[in-house]
């Protein structure tokens, strides 16, 4: 069997080919697993980004509601104060004092000022509450942006993992093929009938 492929060599080459195939499949599977994991992480980040965006919108709505409620309450406070001043003037007139001079005017001016302070206090409280909601909303908006960026990073990582898997598989295939070719016996000819079943051996004389 000189110059041919021995049974041992054939087995070694077959094992090398099987090993190369397994390595190639492993590289591709590893790349796909990495891509799947990155895709899952990207989806989770996008979900968190949407939650943060929803919270931002809710915070803005709360800010608007707080301002609207504060403005309504301030207007009602002003109306009640005006009614109180009118009632005070009527009471002053009923008591027989001059309502357009002296102490009576000063008393009503003080009541109006107190009423204005009450209205402004209500409005200022509403503005502070709305400001708090808007600051909260800005935080949610920033978090949504970070989550979206993280999702994009995971997308890139997944694409890179998939590419790396195929590149690694290609490298393993080339390396394996080079190794197999390097192990292939030099020269040709020789008896290779031992690689065939006996029934297919033209010199075997049939089944043994």
Question: What three-state secondary structure class fits 171?
Answer: helix
Q: What confidence score (pLDDT) does residue 181 get?
A: 66
Q: How much is the average pLDDT of 116-142? A: 91
Condensed to tens digits (0 to 9), the pLDDT of residues 18-71 reads: 777 777 777 777 778 777 888 888 888 889 999 999 999 999 999 999 999 999
Q: What is the mean pLDDT of the chain?
A: 77
Task: Please give the residue that has the higher pLDDT: either 17 or 107.
Answer: 107
Angle at 90 between CA 89 and CA 94, to 5 degrees: 120
Q: Which pair of structure tokens corresponds to residue 129? A: 């509450």
Q: What confidence score (pLDDT) does residue 30 get?
A: 78
CB atoms within 10 A of CB 124: 12
User: What share of the chain in percent tops pLDDT 90?
Assistant: 23
CA 70, 73, 77, 78 torsion: positive or negative? positive
> What CA–CA distance (Å, rounded) separates 41 from 48?
11
CB atoms within 10 A of CB 56: 20
Residue 139: pLDDT above 90?
yes
Sequence spans of domains, the chain: 7-181
Cβ distance 179 to 21 under 8 Å? Answer: no
At 135, the pLDDT band (50, 70, 90 cuts) reads very high
């Amino acid at each position: 069997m000189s110059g041919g492929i021995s049974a041992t060599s054939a087995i070694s080459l077959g094992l090398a080919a099987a090993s190369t195939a397994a390595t190639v499949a492993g590289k591709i599977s590893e790349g796909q697993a990495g891509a799947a994991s990155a895709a899952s992480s990207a989806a989770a980040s996008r979900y968190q980004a949407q939650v943060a965006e929803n919270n931002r919108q809710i915070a803005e709505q709360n800010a608007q509601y707080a301002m609207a409620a504060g403005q309504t309450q301030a207007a009602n406070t002003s109306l009640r104060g005006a009614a109180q001043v009118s009632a005070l003037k009527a009471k002053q007139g009923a008591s027989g004092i001059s309502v357009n001079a002296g102490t009576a005017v000063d008393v009503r001016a003080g009541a109006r000022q107190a009423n204005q302070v009450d209205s402004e206090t209500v409005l200022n409280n509403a503005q502070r509450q709305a400001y708090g909601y808007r600051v909260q909303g800005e935080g949610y908006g920033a978090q949504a942006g970070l989550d979206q960026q993280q999702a994009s990073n995971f997308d890139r990582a997944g694409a890179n993992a998939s590419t790396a898997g195929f590149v690694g598989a290609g490298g393993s295939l080339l390396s394996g093929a080079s190794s197999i070719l390097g192990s292939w016996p030099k020269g040709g000819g020789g008896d290779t009938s031992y690689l065939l079943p006996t029934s297919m051996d033209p010199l075997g004389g049939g089944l043994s």
